[in-house]
């Protein structure tokens, strides 16, 4: 809450990534329990201590919700039955016999997919995100945007799945981005500098319009109008420099700084339901899409995460956008349920 804006988020991105991968492994192993090569790859993945801990936690949570009915089961149950009936209607005798042999495994996979969804929801409620949102003055839910007018008539537009803390004093106006992304239209006041912090990045302005976002990989600042001063204190060479209209900077968690230019109209394009990517890693783009999808998106092939993505995608239809992005990388999106999407190589 107010007065707590300077506390740091203790969530480790390595743990988040390992947890997502563990959920993917659970589904893949249940879908192909006899695949020796898949089991070998899983055992290699499990040698990392962070992955081993994530796998243990995923198994524990799956057992904890084993008797629970997955959310929306009344909706996706008929959906699954209809899809299964249609597949069997089209099957040849040979494929029908094969499907009969695999039916038990498929049922286990669907059940575990529901458990994974329930476990993911439980993790959001019980995990570090709960503490984060308790510290916030304003939050948004999945697929929700919100406009907040501050006491000085500055305006903050919040992207989905975002959280901010506000601390105004007589000599300073301060916003801390705790999660997600915001676009700010700041009223000038030479006596009260306006400062925004995200990760290790601090932005100071007098009056301007700019966008700030943060993810597991770091923070990004882009200027739509005016000038801002960027400071960051991580890495071997802490930096302080100015950004002008159409310029942006990405700062990784390790302190690496990357500058670039883009049309000013592209900055904060999410307010128009546009996701604009220019040679961005697919994993980062997927993180942005997750804020707009009321369900889980799991990337089970880690080699895809660093593939560059370029294009303009419709955030109003995140599933269609995800399929278009996957096609550009020769990947596919499988809907295990309408609320659980799996991305893998075709």
Angle at 259 between CA 266 and CA 313, to 5 degrees: 30
Question: Is the Cβ–Cβ distance between 219 and 212 less than 8 Å?
Answer: yes
- The domain 273-345: what is its CATH number? 3.55.50.30
CA dihedral 308, 251, 17, 336 (to 10 degrees): -50
What's the CATH fold of domain 141-264?
A: Jelly Rolls (2.60.120)
Q: Which residues pair with 179 in a beta bridge?
A: 163
Rounded to whole angstroms, the Cα distance separating 181 from 235 reads 23
235: left (phi over 0), alpha (psi -120 to 50) or beta: left
Question: Is the Cβ–Cβ distance between 154 and 170 less than 8 Å?
Answer: no
pLDDT tens over the chain, length 346 residues:
433 333 333 346 677 677 778 777 776 776 677 788 888 888 888 888 888 888 877 666 555 444 444 444 444 444 444 544 544 454 444 444 444 444 434 344 444 555 555 455 444 444 556 666 678 999 998 899 999 999 999 999 999 999 999 999 999 999 999 999 999 999 999 889 999 999 888 999 978 999 999 887 789 999 999 999 988 876 545 567 889 999 999 888 777 888 899 999 999 999 999 999 988 889 889 989 999 998 888 888 878 888 999 999 999 999 999 999 999 999 999 888 778 888 988 7
Angle at 160 between CA 173 and CA 76, to 5 degrees: 160
pLDDT at 46: 87
Rounded to whole angstroms, the Cα distance separating 243 from 160 reads 25
pLDDT at 172: 93
| Per-residue pLDDT tens over the stretch 40-84 | 888 888 888 888 888 877 666 555 444 444 444 444 444 444 544
| Per-residue pLDDT tens over the stretch 86-136 | 444 544 444 444 444 444 343 444 445 555 554 554 444 445 566 666 789
**Cα separation values, 61 from 11, 26, 66, 120, 121, Å:** 19, 12, 8, 9, 11
pLDDT at 340: 85
List, by residue range, all CATH 2.60.120.1440 domains of the chain.
141-264
List, by residue range, all CATH 3.55.50.30 domains of the chain.
273-345
DSSP letter (8 states) at residue 237: S
């Amino acid at each position: 809450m107010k007065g707590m804006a300077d506390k740091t988020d203790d969530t480790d991105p390595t743990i988040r990534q390992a947890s997502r991968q563990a959920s993917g492994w659970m589904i893949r192993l249940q879908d192909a329990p006899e695949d020796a090569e898949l089991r070998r790859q899983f055992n290699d993945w499990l040698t990392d201590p962070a992955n081993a801990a994530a796998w243990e936690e995923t198994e524990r949570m799956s057992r904890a919700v084993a008797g629970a009915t997955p959310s929306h089961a009344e909706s996706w149950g008929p959906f699954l039955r209809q899809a299964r009936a249609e597949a069997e209607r089209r099957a040849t005798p040979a494929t029908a016999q094969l499907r009969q042999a695999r039916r038990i495994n498929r049922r286990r996979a669907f059940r575990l997919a529901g458990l994974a969804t329930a476990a993911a929801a439980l993790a959001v409620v019980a995990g570090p995100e709960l503490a984060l949102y308790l510290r916030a003055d304003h939050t948004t839910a999945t697929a929700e945007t919100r406009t907040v007018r501050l006491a000085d008539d500055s305006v903050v537009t919040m992207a989905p799945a975002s959280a901010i803390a506000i601390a105004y004093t007589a000599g300073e106006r301060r916003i801390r981005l705790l999660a997600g992304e915001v676009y700010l239209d700041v009223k000038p006041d030479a006596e009260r500098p306006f400062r925004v912090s995200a990760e290790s990045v601090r932005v100071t302005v007098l009056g301007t319009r700019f966008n700030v976002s943060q993810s597991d990989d770091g923070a990004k600042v882009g200027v739509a109008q005016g000038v801002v001063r960027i400071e960051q204190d991580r890495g071997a060479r802490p930096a302080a420099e100015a950004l002008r209209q159409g310029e942006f900077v990405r700062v990784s968690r390790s302190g690496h700084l990357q500058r670039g230019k883009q049309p000013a109209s592209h900055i904060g394009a999410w307010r128009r339901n546009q996701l604009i990517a220019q040679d961005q890693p697919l994993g980062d783009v997927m993180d942005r899409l997750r804020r707009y999808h009321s369900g889980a998106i799991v990337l089970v092939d880690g080699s895809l995460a660093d593939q560059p993505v370029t294009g303009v995608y419709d955030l109003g239809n995140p599933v269609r956008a995800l399929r278009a992005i996957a096609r550009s990388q020769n990947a596919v999106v499988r809907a295990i349920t309408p609320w659980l999407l799996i991305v893998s190589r075709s």
